[in-house]
Amino acid sequence: MKVKTVLTALILTTALVIATSIPGFSGPAPQSAADLASQLPPGEGKGYVQTICTSCHGLGLIVAQQKTKIGWEATVYDMLGRISAGMDREADIISSYLAAHFGVEPAPSVVDNTMAEPASSDVEIKIYHQVVFRFKPEVSVDQIKHVLDTGRAMLESIPEVAAVIVGTVAQQDSDYTHGLVTGFKNNDDLQSYRSHPAHRDWLTDIYRPLIEASLVTDIVAP
């Protein structure tokens, strides 16, 4: 019985700590609902934000954020999906409104497409390893150049990598802005590349800290 009481107390305390650490959930000295509402500029979507978006948490959670258009769309679709399906029209209006007033520009797309020829033209590539990614919004052009330049240098220094493409994603409406494609003669070469120390170090020290989202696919030739 003692153990149960302690456990309950622990769970309650943890829940309280989590709840008060989320801005907008009632914590110390909350801003009044009227103060927060005055931070919503007029526009189509304001009404929805004030009604639909405050049914589970305060406005504070929303006006404290700045997100890219894609970021707001992801949040709004996630939130509305919790109430009901088929609110795409409302979701579009709300995301456009929030992106216009609580938005940040996405990381700039540095156009620096380069393609390295295979080491020798008779190398037959059997597996392509493709990564597309986007940078966190606060990442600067210089930081992007640094990631791409050091990435290319790292890839070209690994003997198992038989072909390299570093570039930007052509589709304007893609969720990703940049990509790397590497070609390999066989799966063993791909696996040695994956565990190569230069590759691992670059991922940990340079790439991951600046990346918001990525998608990896390996394509195997028949």
Give the range of 11-19, 80-88, 105-113, 148-156 binding ligand HEC by CB under 6 A: 80-88
Q: Strand, coil or helix: what is 213?
A: strand
Of 6, 98, 106, the C-alpha closest to 45 is 98
How many residues make contact with ligand HEC (CB under 6 A)? Answer: 16
The Cα–Cα gap between 32 and 84 comes to 28
The Cα–Cα gap between 156 and 182 comes to 10
Of 72, 79, 210, the C-alpha closest to 137 is 210
Among 39, 50, 52, 109, which residue sits at the site for ligand HEC (rule: CB under 6 A)? Answer: 52
Cβ distance to ligand HEC smaller for residue 76 or 162: 76
Cβ distance to ligand HEC smaller for residue 99 or 139: 99
57 binds ligand HEC (CB under 6 A): yes
Give the range of 39-47, 60-68, 164-172, 199-207 binding ligand HEC by CB under 6 A: 60-68
Cβ distance to ligand HEC smaller for residue 87 or 131: 87
80 binds ligand HEC (CB under 6 A): yes
Give the range of 32-40, 76-84, 114-122, 176-184 binding ligand HEC by CB under 6 A: 76-84
Among 37, 61, 165, 203, which residue sits at the site for ligand HEC (rule: CB under 6 A)? Answer: 61
Q: Strand, coil or helix: what is 18?
A: helix
Residue 209, CA distances (Å) to 67, 180, 206, 212 in order: 18, 17, 6, 8
The Cα–Cα gap between 209 and 109 comes to 18
Cross-sheet strand order for the sheet of 178-184: 114-116, 163-168, 178-184, 127-135, 211-220
Among 40, 68, 73, 75, which residue sits at the site for ligand HEC (rule: CB under 6 A)? Answer: 75
Among 10, 11, 83, 153, which residue sits at the site for ligand HEC (rule: CB under 6 A)? Answer: 83
The Cα–Cα gap between 84 and 87 comes to 7
Structure tokens at 70: 């894609």
Residues paired with residue 130 on neighbouring β-strands, in sequence order: 181, 217
Considering the complex, what minimum distance in angstroms separates the CB of residue 217 from ligand HEC?
26
Cβ distance to ligand HEC smaller for residue 23 or 118: 23
84 binds ligand HEC (CB under 6 A): no
The Cα–Cα gap between 108 and 121 comes to 35
Q: Which residues bind ligand HEC (CB under 6 A)?
A: 22, 52-53, 55-57, 61-62, 65, 75-76, 79-80, 82-83, 94
